Amino acid sequence: MQAAVHVRIAATIAAFALLAAPLVGCTFPGGGERTQSPAPTVSCPDEQGGSCRGELAPGTYTTIELDPSVTYTVPGEGWTNTEDRAGGFVLLAPGTTAEDLRSGADADLVAIIPDVLPVAGPCDFAPAEGVPATPQAYVDRLSAEPAYAVTPPRPVEVGGLDGLAIDISLRADAAPSCLDDPEWAPVLLGIDEDGTAAATGATPRSLTRFYLLARGDGVLLVEIDATTPGSAIVEDLTAVVEGLEIEPLTPNA
């Protein structure tokens, strides 16, 4: 059994992976200058977590390694940043631990992957061929896969980027027999600088919400996972997503 997000796989697919000193006084479109909360002195609890901050006090922070940088607000006590790499960011909600992710348990979290591609299929970690890098094309591809249940897309704007939001799950009655785990299937691949491959996927039981956002020539993913759909934590996770500020592309990016 796997958590929906953040399953690392062997780097057999060239250049694919999943998912700082804070930027003080950074200005983003649509918002004024914001003072960042200082980085805590705790070390990252995950050896693969890059420059993550660990346990966080309530406040506003800016990612360290994630490219593009993202400013986010922690609404209360108990939130933990377990990954901050160029290719991925993970923020755990209260009650979820880094050990939950390592063990494959369900988790309540927000994840960001700057550049994603759909997999070729639920039993194939290779990227799909011939799919344009647009939110609509990704939604069409995922909706056409019988193993996935996908809600109708809705237009969204997150952190200055436009895109589409969907909820996706693995159909319990249509899970392919080729799956090693009948309760988890890969959906999207991300890329990190070291070429480590990773996937984010879907389960038949928890809420997985994808915000597929157009950025330059690619699609940036913001993801919500919640162990109990409809619970209060979904509102907290959604509030974090709605408050994100994403670094804009430079003219030559």
Per-residue exposure over 146-157, b if at least 16 CB sit within 10 Å of its own CB, e if not = ebbbbeebeebe
Domain contains 143:
yes
Give pLDDT, residue 250.
80
Domain contains 157:
yes
pLDDT (tens digit, 9 = 90+) per residue, 39-92?
Answer: 444 478 778 899 999 999 999 999 999 999 999 999 999 999 999 999 999 999
Domain contains 36:
yes
Domain contains 188:
yes
Q: Is residue 33 pLDDT above 60, yes or no? A: no
* Short-list 145, 121, 94, 131, CA closest to 212: 131
Give pLDDT, residue 197.
59
Q: How far, in Å, CA of 118 to CA of 227, rounded?
A: 23
Q: How far, in Å, CA of 190 to CA of 118, rounded?
A: 9
Residue-range definition of the domain harbouring residue 210: 7-246
Domain contains 193:
yes
Give pLDDT, residue 140.
98
DSSP assignment string, 5-23: S-EEE-TTSTT--------
Phi and psi at 57, nearest 5°, equal: -85, 155
Give pLDDT, residue 235.
96
What is the number of structural domains in the chain?
Answer: 1
DSSP 181: S
Domain contains 80:
yes
Domain contains 238:
yes
* Short-list 187, 196, 195, CA closest to 225: 187
Give pLDDT, residue 12.
30
pTM of the model: 0.84
Largest Cα separation within the chain, whole Å, is: 53
pLDDT band at 194; cut points 50, 70, 90: low
pLDDT (tens digit, 9 = 90+) per residue, 12-31?
Answer: 333 333 332 222 222 223 33
Domain contains 251:
no
How far does Cα 135 stand from its chain's mean position?
15
Helices (H) and strands (E) in the chain, counts: 3, 17
Give me the residue label for tokens 């796997």.
2
pLDDT (tens digit, 9 = 90+) per residue, 133-152?
Answer: 999 999 999 999 999 999 99
Q: What is the mean pLDDT of the chain?
A: 83
* Short-list 185, 187, 231, CA closest to 210: 187
pLDDT (tens digit, 9 = 90+) per residue, 147-178?
Answer: 999 999 999 999 999 999 999 999 988 878 88
Domain holding 90: CATH number?
Answer: 3.40.1000.10
pLDDT (tens digit, 9 = 90+) per residue, 83-133?
Answer: 999 999 999 999 998 888 877 788 999 999 999 999 999 988 889 999 999
Higher pLDDT, 219 or 194: 219
